[in-house]
Amino acid sequence: MITVQAITLHREAERMDHQNDVTGEVSAPVFKLVTAWIAVSITSWAEAASFLAAIYSAILIGEWVWKRLLRPWCVRHGWVR
Query: pTM higher than 0.85 for the full model?
Result: no
Side chain identity, residue 72? P
pLDDT at 54: 94
SS3 sequence, the chain?
Answer: CCCHHHHHHHHHHHHHHHHHHHHHHHHHHHHHHHHHHHHCCCCCHHHHHHHHHHHHHHHHHHHHHHHHHHHHHHHHCCCCC
Query: 42-80 pLDDT, tens per residue?
Result: 888 898 899 899 999 999 999 999 999 999 999 999 999
